[in-house]
Each structure stands twice: as C-alpha cells, then as structure tokens.
Amino acid sequence: MGLWSLRFLTLLGIVLVLILMAAYFFYGLQPSYTQESPVTFQVSKGESFRAIGALLSQESLIRSIAVFKTYSILTGNARKFQPGIYQLASTMSVPQIVDFLVAGGKNETTVKIIEGWTLKDIDAALASSSVITPGALLSFPFETLAPQYPFLNQNSLEGFLFPDTYNFELNSSPETVLRTFLDTFDIKVWQPFLSSQDNPYSSLILASYLEREVVTSSDRQIVAGIILKRLKLGMPLQIDATVSYAKCNEAFNSCANPVVTREDLKIDSPFNTYTKLGFTPTPIANPGKDAIQAALSPQASGYLYYLTDPKSGKTIFSKTLNEQNANEAKYL
C-alpha cells in the first residue's frame, strides 16, 4: 500500500470517527421521550453542572450526560445554571433544558406540615426540601423573637409551629422561616383560641397529647376531660405518646419503633408521665386546630381510663382499673 493510500485511509477513518461523534452528539441533544408526565426538578445552590447532568440522567430527562456536559461547555452555560425548582419534560431537547436552567426556575417550594409532627420532624422536612440546612431551626436562638411574639415560651419551639401548607423560598434563613410559622400561629391559634385562656401554654401541651393519642374530635374531648381529671386527682397522667416522645428522641417520623413497651415505661425522662406527675415541660408535638379546640372544650365523663384499639383506631374507655385491664387484654 502506498503512502498516499495510507494517508487517505487514515483521513477517511478520522472523518468517519468525526461523523459518528457528530451523529452521537446530535442524537444526544434530542429529547429522550421516556415519560409522558412532567418531572419536578430541583437545582440546589452551589450544585455543579456535572451533578446536575447526573441528576437529569437519573430522571431520564437526557440521553447522555457527556453530551449535556459538552453542550453546556460549548455554549458557555456550564456555570450559569440557576438554583430553583423546574418543571421539565422528556419531550424537551438538551438545548431547551439548558435554556430553562439558565433562565432560572421557581425559587420557592411548598411544604405541608402534618398535625402531630415535632420540631425535629419539621426541621428535617424543611431541610429535605432545601428550605433550610439540617438543624437550622433547632439551633436558632428563638428566644430573641419573644418581644415580638409574647405567647412564645422561651423553653422550646415545640407546639408553636402550626401544621399547615406553607410556601418557602429555597435556602431561606431560619429566622424568616420561623417568623412565618409564628405569624401563622398568632393568627390561627393565639388570637382566636389561646389569648383569652388563663393557662394557654398548658392548653397547648394538652392539645399536643390529644393530637398524638386520639383520632376523632368527640373522643379527644372525652380524653381531655380524663386527663384533666387525673391531673386534679394527683394521678400520673400515664400518656403513652409522651413516653414515645422521649423514646424517639423527640422525632416521631424517624423513629424506628415509636410503640411504647412495658420496658419503655421505666425511661428516666421529664416526659415520662408514668413516673412523673403533672404536665410535661413542653408540648410533645405541634397540634392542629381540631386538637386545640378539643383541649379547650373538655367533656366530663365517668371514665378515668382509655386506650386505642390498634386495629380500628377506635378509643375504648373504662371507668375502673379492672375494666381497663380487661380492655387491654382484649384489644392490645
């Protein structure tokens, strides 16, 4: 084979490789067409375009991470992606996706706070939604806000983070987030329900018990009456949910086994209402409106004991200890 033939074959090989690379590149730019419904895609502050490419691939929104990276670099957009929440679709090409990420997405997210969540539960939920960094609410010196929120107990935030649906900006400051919670508590709880009470904090503590212990409004009112009766008689309140709060290190959502056992009743904690008299030092959760109303309207009854049927969720009431023991044998 002559020198010119070798050069021609080499050049031809290079051309073919370039054609294949170009074909692959343009193929990789096309929509992936892997799913019909849009995908909510989040870019966090400081996230590299390489990490973004990997996440886009995991969501099957792009055909090739390499093509996405190459296109982002060639177009000068690799460092221009904006943090935010985007609605992307597999019908979008890489250039379209890049344009979206450069233009900037929605810089807020919706977080639903569920009745009965604790402060630690809420902190974790906000962190997982990129609203705050983990532990930001737990470490914030909230007592500095007491002058603006006179209802705020300076021992704990527990109970003051009203369960509701909130819109927060991504990477918010803990003070901004906390003020949103406290403003909501002021409007929806303090002013209409607790501001006129003689012992509003005790009512909030009682409401937190009802939120974790009982399901229906009518049963909550009866249980509120039972708890207040026990308090008046000087009996231990014997509320399993308070023991569970101590057992779970004040975080129900991440607790492997929140169910209270007989051994758990020996836990040495101010939240163990089997061994300590009176109310716990703070609420054990953030109660919703229904539980708060039940705490403020306790119903008198002849009952002194109750339990929850684990199968039906129904509250079973007893007047005597013997009846309670019989019900425990039947339902638990």
**Residue 287 C-beta-side C-alpha neighbours within 13 Å:** 33
pLDDT, residue 272, reads: 98
DSSP reduced 3-state for 198: coil
The pLDDT profile of the chain, 332 residues, written as one tens digit per residue, is 566 666 656 666 676 767 776 667 787 789 988 887 889 899 988 888 889 999 999 999 999 999 999 999 999 999 999 988 899 999 999 999 999 999 888 888 899 999 999 999 999 999 999 899 999 999 999 999 999 999 998 889 999 999 999 999 998 999 999 999 999 999 999 999 999 999 999 999 999 999 999 999 999 999 999 999 999 999 999 999 999 999 999 999 999 999 999 999 999 999 999 999 999 999 999 999 999 999 999 999 999 999 999 888 899 999 999 999 999 999 88
pLDDT, residue 224, reads: 98
Taking CA atoms, 27 is separated from 33, 60, 70, 93, 95, in Å, by: 12, 15, 13, 10, 12
pLDDT, residue 107, reads: 86
pLDDT, residue 37, reads: 85
Compute the distance between CA of residue 298 and CA of residue 220 in angstroms, rounded to an integer: 8
The angle subtended at Cα 277 by Cα 271 and Cα 280, nearest 5°, is: 35
Q: Contacts from 10-17 at CB under 8 Å and sequence distance 24+?
A: none
How many residues would you count in the chain?
A: 332
Element (H, E) at 283: none
DSSP reduced 3-state for 83: coil
pLDDT, residue 306, reads: 96
Element (H, E) at 209: helix 200-213
Compute the distance between CA of residue 212 and CA of residue 197 in angstroms, rounded to an integer: 22
**Residue 152 C-beta-side C-alpha neighbours within 13 Å:** 20
Domains of the chain with bracketed CATH: 15-103 (3.30.1490.480), 108-194 (3.30.1490), 200-331 (no CATH)
- Residue found by looking up tokens 């569970």 in the block: 244
Q: Contacts from 82-85 at CB under 8 Å and sequence distance 24+?
A: 82/43, 83/43, 83/44, 83/45, 83/46, 83/47, 83/107, 83/170, 83/171, 84/42, 84/43, 84/170, 85/40, 85/41, 85/42, 85/109, 85/170
